[in-house]
Structure 1
Amino acid sequence: MPQPHLRAADADRAAVVTRLDQGLADGRLTLAEYEDRSARAHAARTYGELDGLTADLPSPAPRPAPVAQAVYGGPWHGTWGHDLRTAWTQWAVTAVVVVGIWLVSMLATTDLQYPWPVWVVGPWGAVLLARTLGERHTLGRRRPGLPV
């Protein structure tokens, strides 16, 4: 906590009451202790007054992230840590550039040239498509109410 003489905000008081709620639910506080500490938390003006109310309670355990968020970082984040929207945008920009270069080279010569851009954007697009479909399928199966 910040320095004990500084004034506490409503959010600070609410956080302390939340920890007291958990202490009561865990059986670490009696109802009388909870009511006393909760009333003092609501009346506290400084961090020092709040700090003593939870000093004998263990620190709250960090909450685990939901499975989909832990694995994918959200609905559009892939397993490689890249945002799929960004990956598709990069693919599209690259496709436009290489096809543009190919078209300019076609117009500059009279010969029909091999369509080499398919080897640049084709495999990359196939991998992105597989990732997108696979991740959407996996995320869809992890939604509550759907069989896993």
Structure 2
Amino acid sequence: MGESGGEAMRASDADREAIAQRLRAAQDEGRLTITEYDDRLQKAYAATTLGQLQPLVADLPEPVPAKPSPEVAKRERRKSKAIKEWRDWAGVAFILIAIWAVTSISSGELKFFWPMIPIGIWGAINIASMISGDSGDKKHKGPGH
């Protein structure tokens, strides 16, 4: 039976290594015996086309992407929270400055730039939170807990 389409395409070292990793995972999960694993691994490294690689993993489930480590997940949550906090800060700053500009224009005189007070305080809190690494999602226990 002739190979057609992508199956006849030459396999790269990366293709062979990807199949070898799937075989290792299957062996670690108990899906392959050591003999089956060794046989398939030898065939994977000897394969010259993608069509020769695919049957080696055809009866194995697709690999499940690994969950990020707790440290990586915590870092991503902290980063997302910081981005959201700065985005909220910028939106409120824009609205406060617009209110100040409209009131200054409508009165015909330049008013005291009062938006700097809430914008500055909020910005300082955001910076302090970033420096301290406090993600703000810690649960503080009350007295007696």
Match of 1:122 in 2: 120
Count of matched residue positions in the alignment of Structure 1 and Structure 2? 120
- Residue 27 of structure 1 pairs with residue 25 of structure 2: no
RMSD over aligned Cα atoms: 3.9
Matches of 1:61 and 1:13, distance apart in 2: 19
2:59 to 56, 61, 70: 56
In structure 1, stretches of 5+ residues that fail to align are: 99-112, 139-148
| Matched position secondary structure for 1:116 | coil
Matches of 2:63 and 2:30, distance apart in 1: 14
Matches of 1:34 and 1:68, distance apart in 2: 33
**2:68 is matched by which residue type in structure 1?**
A
Report the TM-score when normalising by structure 2.
0.61
Q: Deviation string for 1:91-132 (max 9, x for gaps)?
A: 8xx9xxx9xxxxxxxxxxxxxx74535325313313413531
1 or 2, which has the higher helix percentage?
2
In structure 2, stretches of 5+ residues that fail to align are: 98-110, 136-145
**1:8 is matched by which residue type in structure 2?**
A
Q: Deviation string for 1:41-77 (max 9, x for gaps)?
A: 00101111000001111111111122343354277x2
Stretches of 4+ aligned residues off by more than 4 angstroms: none
* Cα deviation, residue 5, structure 1: 1.1
Q: Structure 1 vs Structure 2: percent identity of aligned residues?
A: 34
- Residue 78 of structure 1 pairs with residue 76 of structure 2: no
Matches of 1:15 and 1:22, distance apart in 2: 11
Matches of 1:124 and 1:73, distance apart in 2: 22
